[in-house]
Amino acid sequence: MPRIYALVLLLTLMLPGCSNLGYYSQAVGGHLEVMRVSRPIKELVEDPHCEPGLKKRLEEVHQIREFASRQLGLPDNDSYRSYADLQRPYVTWNVFAAPEFSLKAEKWCMLIVGCVSYRGFFSQSEAEMAAQQLRQQGFDVYVGGVPAYSTLGFFSDPVLNTFIASGNLEVARLVFHELAHQMVYVEGDTAFNESFATLVENEGLRRWLEHQGNQKLAHVVDDRRQQKAAFVELVNSYRAKLHDIYASDLPVDTKRSAKAEVMRDMQRAYLSQQKAHGKPPVYKQWLEKDLNNAKIASLALYTKHYPAFKTLLDEEGGSLPAFYERVKILSGLPVRERNATFKKLSSPVQLNENHQLAEVQSYSMSK
């Protein structure tokens, strides 16, 4: 492992440009620090000085990690078999940016991962400084804390204090999500990668809960998922309104006023929707704090192709191995062909046929 670290550091130092050098240096340094403080879970569990509460959570993590590979077919490697306490609430902070009158997220190109729609920082202060520079350039900017990240299998990613304290659901969700990135990753296509990992995360969580026989918690999770789906649908309807405003020939000041009004309407509509259904407004804070194009764009990255991936899984009768093979084939298609396939899989007719198929098909959730 030290040789790999040295190689990565050497590549970093060879990069042209001071801005690139600074960004990559913080990324490499931040990751090396995460790896430095990590310890094997097996070693911690056997340590008599390990705090009982932490020991219990790590034993549960081990069960989740085994389920991920044995039942979900996710990579069976050393990732999430060690633990690191970073003494902070997030491992990284991602910076998203979008033009004032566009919902298209800015992209940055990096080694290995290609072009992505965010920049990640291991320091919140550095993230905020980068965000401020983008604001000064006229961009809408959003900074979000991240509890986990994946090195795509290049390193053995550890379980972190940033998500383990939140309980089994959060651990399972993140472990399934990040391992999905290790299985299939398309360089430069953030929406593909995040939508696929989110589908695996949700499906894995559902199967994990069934495996545990915890129907009560499964209902809670399903209710949360439905609330999130309704929220995303609402945001998407307002995305369309914003898109029409931005594409119009209205004067800049008029566009700016119309944009602000749509944002306010979205907030009011969400609160009204939740009140009508007797549901708590769980996304109220998300809508109230720093709501702008960049924040809306960040949400879309995780859900844009989700319906298409759900269709693929249902077409395979819930078989994850068959689904993964379909996704790998899809990932190898040229961008235009891949997007055309997504559009077809997400069409209303296809989704309706898919829904009918799901109603008549039954399969074991623990295959």
Give the tens place of pLDDT for each residue, 215-254.
888 888 888 888 988 999 999 999 999 999 999 999 999 9
Q: Is residue 161 part of a domain?
A: yes
Query: Are the C-beta atoms of 160 and 91 separated by less than 8 Å?
Result: yes
| Confidence check: pLDDT of 103 > 50 | yes
Question: Does 360 reside within a domain?
Answer: no
Nearest 5 degrees, angle CA 142-CA 144-CA 150? 125
Per-residue b or e along 306-331, where b marks 16 or more CB atoms closer than 10 Å to that residue's CB: bbbbbbbbbbbebebeebbeebeebb
Residue 109 inside a domain? The answer is: yes
User: Would residue 314 count as lying in a domain?
Assistant: no
Q: The tokens of 281 are what?
A: 């407004």
pLDDT value, residue 7: 43
Cβ–Cβ < 8 Å for 199, 176: no
pLDDT of amino acid 221:
86
Q: d(Cα 353, Cα 311) in Å, to the nearest integer?
A: 9
d(CA 265, CA 154): 45
248-300, pLDDT tens digit by residue? 999 999 999 999 999 999 999 999 999 999 999 999 999 998 899 999 999 88
What is the model's pLDDT at position 352?
44
Q: Which whole number is the average pLDDT over 117-126?
A: 94
Tens-digit pLDDT profile for residues 4-44: 444 444 444 434 444 567 888 888 899 999 999 999 999 99
Confidence of residue 97 (pLDDT cuts 50, 70, 90): very high
User: Does residue 120 lie within any of the structural domains?
Assistant: yes
User: Is residue 100 in a domain?
Assistant: yes
pTM recorded for the entire structure: 0.82
Distance (Å) of CA 287 to CA 88, 135, 203, 266: 25, 19, 27, 8
* The predicted structure's pLDDT at residue 112: 65
Helix (H, G, I), strand (E, B) or coil at 188: coil
Residue 319 inside a domain? The answer is no
In the predicted model, is pLDDT for residue 367 greater than 90?
A: no
Distances (CA, A) of 11 to 6, 17, 156, 175: 9, 13, 20, 29
Full domain range(s) for residue 29: 2-182
Give domain status of residue 363, yes or no. no
Give the residue among 180, 223, 147, 187 at the shortest CA–CA distance from 309.
Answer: 180
Q: What is the pLDDT of residues 143-196, one digit of tens each?
A: 999 999 888 888 899 999 999 988 888 999 999 999 999 999 998 898 999 999
Q: Is the dihedral of CA 261, 262, 268, 272 positive or negative?
A: positive
- Tell me the average pLDDT of the chain: 87
Query: Any idea which of 198-212, 239-253, 261-275, 349-363 has the lowest mean pLDDT?
Result: 349-363
Residues sharing a CB contact under 8 Å with residue 45, sequence separation 6 or more, in sequence order: 55, 58, 59, 62
**What's the total number of domains in the chain?**
1
- For 16, phi and psi rounded to 5 degrees? -80, 150
